[in-house]
Amino acid sequence: MNILFELSKEHPTLPQNEIFACLTAEDISYIINETNNDILNISTNTDIDLVKNIVSRLSHTFYVDELFFSCSNSIDEIKKNAKKYFIDLPGSIAIRYKNTSKNKNSQEIIKIIQEIYTRNKKVNLTDPDNEIRVFITDLKVYVGKKIIVIDRSQYEKRKVQFRPYFSPISLHPKIARALVNLSCVKKNETLLDPFCGTGGILLEAGLIGAKVIGSDIEEKMIYGSKETLDFYKLKNYQLFCSDIGDIKKHINYVDAIVTDLPYGKATTTKGEDMNKLYTRTFEVLPEILKEKKKAVIGISDKKWATKLYTHLKLMSIHEFRAHKSLTRYFIVFEKQP
């Protein structure tokens, strides 16, 4: 089965890497057929229901489709492939499309797909049994059946201003969910955020079924995180107030670490020099992370990504421009033996 992920294009590297991490977390084997800023096309023998389970985690994808075919966007090629790979779908049908091409008129393409796929079929544009997706780009056209649409509105509803405890230095829920996904944490595994702040990362990890542990040097942040997790009716969590150097007194090993390190005057370090805090953090985290598991760490200085760390292997770097004077780097590390 070929699966097409229609990507959000909000970030150049995050949408694809988030998908790869979720597939890994669910032990789904796959082959990459094609990837670019618009789409990711993979082949897998996995049951369709398991695919639905993993895509419910995603934050930077719009649609996931069962791909029938892809071809150049010439009209003759589209007509030939639409006939060759035609599937007689039971029930009513609706044709939807997205056109990211700067030059291609979508109407002629959609007319061809309609003629072939809706012939002798009931068309239902409100609540169809099958939705045929046509994705038109500058070079190719992709045609398939919608498996699922990602409910991206949920992330807007969980923005910090709508949560019971407010702080202006909180990640957008879409970013927090993507970072959790990059950690490859599985349901019922344990994820730690040692600088948990208002609990946004813990919230997104808890909502996908992980057990979450949060610590912070500020007691008010622990109370705030508890308010947040209780508000969303999450039960499987542990919170405590701790300096990063004392965190091993509270926990043993965890399956994933996801955190956004303090980075400026707006954040509290109790007066500690940032370089010293970062050094202590990178010394402690490998000691509590299980082997072959991942840590996803937000930093403001890229030099901390490429230092040599004991037992931490750099896997990927994802750059975010927070505003014109601040760039954040989210780094994925893997714990080595």
Q: Specify the CATH number for the domain of residue 207.
A: 3.40.50.150
Average pLDDT in the 267-284 region?
Answer: 84
Q: Across-strand partners of 43?
A: 2, 31
Task: Indicate the pLDDT class of residue 264, thresholds 50, 70 and 90.
Answer: low
Burial of 108 (0-12, 13-18, 19+ CB in 10 A): exposed
Q: For 15, left (φ over 0), alpha (ψ -120 to 50), or beta?
A: alpha
Residues 6 and 87 in one domain: yes
My answer on whether 168 and 304 are in the same domain is yes
138 and 166 part of one domain:
no
Instruction: CATH number of the domain at 87, please.
Output: 3.30.2130.30
Question: Strands 312-323, 326-335: parallel, antiparallel or unpaired by DSSP?
Answer: antiparallel
Q: What is the pLDDT of residue 218?
A: 94
CA dist 285 and 295 (Å) reads: 8
Rounded to whole angstroms, the Cα distance separating 70 from 278 reads 47
CA distance 173 to 259: 13
Q: What is the pLDDT of residue 220?
A: 94
CB atoms within 10 A of CB 115: 11
**CA neighbours closer than 13 Å in the CB half-sphere of residue 266:** 8
Confidence of residue 266 (pLDDT cuts 50, 70, 90): very low
For the chain, the domain total comes to 2
Q: How far apart are CA 23 and CA 39, in angstroms?
A: 16
Mind listing the pLDDT tens digit for each residue in 287-301?
Answer: 999 999 999 999 988
Asked if the model's pLDDT at residue 113 lies above 80, the reply is yes
Q: What's the angle, vertex CA 132, arms to CA 128 and CA 138, rounded to 5?
A: 150
Same domain (yes/no): 219, 192: yes
Q: What pairs with residue 215 in β-bridges?
A: 240
Percent of the chain with pLDDT over 90: 81
From 126, 149, 172, give the residue that closes a domain: 149
* 74 and 199, same domain (yes or no): no
The answer to whether residues 136 and 161 belong to one domain is: no
Q: Is the pLDDT of residue 214 over 60?
A: yes
Residue 47 has pLDDT above 90, yes or no: no
Asked if residue 222 and residue 138 are part of one domain, the reply reads: no
Q: Same domain for 93 and 163?
A: no
Region 29-33 average pLDDT: 96
Average pLDDT over residues 168-175: 88
Whether residue 142 is found in the same domain as residue 263: no
Summarised one tens digit per residue, pLDDT across range 67-107 is: 999 999 899 999 999 999 999 999 999 999 999 998 778 99
Distance CA 18, CA 85 (A): 30
Q: What is the pLDDT of residue 269?
A: 61
In this structure, the strands spanning 2-7 and 140-149 are: unpaired
**Does pLDDT of 265 surpass 70?**
no
pLDDT at 308: 86
Burial 233-245 (b: 16+ CB within 10 A, else e): ebeebebbebbbe
Q: Could you say which of 149, 182, 197 is where a domain stops?
A: 149
Mean predicted confidence (pLDDT) in 213-229: 96
Domain boundary among 122, 149, 176: 149
| In a shared domain, residues 189 and 119 | no
Q: Contacts for 231-236 with beta carbons within 8 Å, 24 or more apart? A: 231/163, 231/164, 232/158, 232/203, 232/206, 232/207, 234/203, 234/206, 234/207, 236/206, 236/210, 236/211, 236/212
- Above 70 in pLDDT, residue 15? yes
Opening angle at CA 232, ends 226 and 233, nearest 5: 85
User: 140 and 227 share a domain?
Assistant: no
Which two tokens mark 33?
């057929």
DSSP secondary structure letter of residue 310: T
Asked whether residue 145 falls in the same domain as residue 159, the answer is no
pLDDT confidence of residue 226: 97
Would you state the pLDDT for residue 78? 95
Chain centre distance of CA 152: 11
Give the mean model confidence (pLDDT) for residues 139-165. 94
Q: What domain range includes position 278?
A: 153-335
Q: What is the mean pLDDT of residues 225-242?
A: 97
- The whole-number pLDDT of residue 50 equals 81
- Name every residue whose Cβ is closer than 8 Å to that of residue 126 and which is 6 or more positions away in sequence: none
